[in-house]
Chain A
Amino acid sequence: METVFTPWASLAGGVLIGLASILLMLSLGRIMGATGVLAGLFQPRDGADFQWRAALLAGMVTGPVVVWLATGAMPAVEVPISTAALVLGGILVGIGVTYGSGCTSGHGVCGMARLSPRSIAATVTFMIFTGVTVFVARHVIGG
């Protein structure tokens, strides 16, 4: 389904994502990577390690609620694929980000901002594979 081009909202959202990344580095000295934050919850080093991850995650989850309170509308979540595809995609993402040591936030934003060669290589790789997968799913298999 077509979606509306939203350059300003997307730019503002991007700046906030960047701001959060900066503040987490300033306060805890940590990379704002969703993969790392989530994975660490399952094997935290100690209680304090678990606590900051849980607090960050709780803040993230409150985000849409605050947007809802401010605008009267929940952020749109439109899933144009089957539940089976959603679950398959989720499992592949989970395995991939664990072996790849990061995702869009960790490699694509924080690592790229540090000009880390590993993050640049990872980001280029997943952007290419995502694009190819979408093309195949929509225009080869689906087309």
Chain B
Amino acid sequence: MKLISTYLIGLVFGVGISISGMANPDKVLNFFDVAGTWDPSLIFVMGGALVTTFVGYRIVLGRKEPLFEGRFSLPTARTIDARLIGGSALFGVGWGIAGFCPGGALPALGTGRWEVFAFTAALVVGILIAKFIQSIGASRAQTAS
């Protein structure tokens, strides 16, 4: 039951991404190309998603707990540090080059297009590189202390 509902939630997300245009690098890059072939469509994606989620979260997060779990798993980090800003800047550069963000690419795998698989493979490599560097940093910090 839990897994079926989670699958269906993924499906709603995947259909949303598909019809929104977020799975299409050409459209994404044109959104940012204000000085060229500008296509403002994606402001409607962000706007629609944000307003819907804002209202829905107000209601859902008023509950004591989610339906299938004992508690809400919300991020607890509060500080805006160099890691957050630097990482987000690097993500922006990559998104500006490729036109895919993770949320756009994962559903787009379902189109079967090899370009999406190439991007997603590179994305996974990038995630694993970053996690490897972080684990070296963490073990060094442990040795030092």
- A residues lining the B interface (CB < 8 Å): 1-35, 37-39, 42-43, 51-52, 55-67, 74-81, 83, 85-101, 103-105, 107-114, 116-118, 121-123, 125-135, 137-139
Distance of A13 from chain B, by nearest CB (Å): 2
Known: A20-B12, A89-B95, A96-B90. A34 touches B103 (CB 8 A): yes
With A103-B102, A108-B46 as given contacts, are A23 and B12 in contact (CB-CB < 8 Å)? yes
User: Which 3 pairs from chain A and chain B are nearest by CB?
Assistant: A94-B126, A63-B14, A59-B10
Closest to A18 in B: B52
Question: B86-114 CB contact bits vs A (8 Å, 1 = yes)?
Answer: 11111111111111111111111111110
A-B contact count (CB 8 A): 499
Contact between B37 and A96, CB atoms less than 8 A apart:
no
A126 to B94, CA, bound (A): 10
CA of A5 to CA of B27 in the docked complex: distance in angstroms? 9
Cβ distance B120 to chain A, nearest Cβ, rounded Å: 7
Shortest A85–chain B CB gap in Å is 5
Q: Which of these, A13, A62, A135, contacts B20 with CB under 8 Å?
A: A13
| A31 near B75: Cβ-Cβ < 8 Å | yes
**Is B24 a contact partner of A13 (Cβ separation < 8 A)?**
no
The interface on chain B, measured as residues whose beta carbon lies within 8 A of the other chain's beta carbons, has a size of 116
Q: Does B136 contact A (CB under 8 A)?
A: no
Task: Determine whether the beta carbon of B48 is less than 8 Å from that of A14.
Answer: yes
Cβ A94 vs Cβ B122 within 8 A: yes
> In this assembly, does B138 line the interface, its C-beta being within 8 Å of a C-beta of chain A?
no
Chain B residues closer than 8 Å to A5, beta-carbon distance:
39-41
CB-based contact A75/B18 at 8 Å: yes
Is the beta-carbon distance between B98 and A81 smaller than 8 angstroms?
A: yes
Q: A134 near B96 (CB under 8 angstroms)? A: yes
* Residue contact B23 to A75, C-beta cutoff 8 Å: yes
B60 A22 Cβ-Cβ under 8 A: yes
* Interfacial chain B residues near A127, Cβ < 8 Å: 92
A121–B37 alpha-carbon span in the complex (Å)? 28
What is the CB-to-nearest-CB distance from A123 to chain B, in angstroms, rounded to a whole number? 8
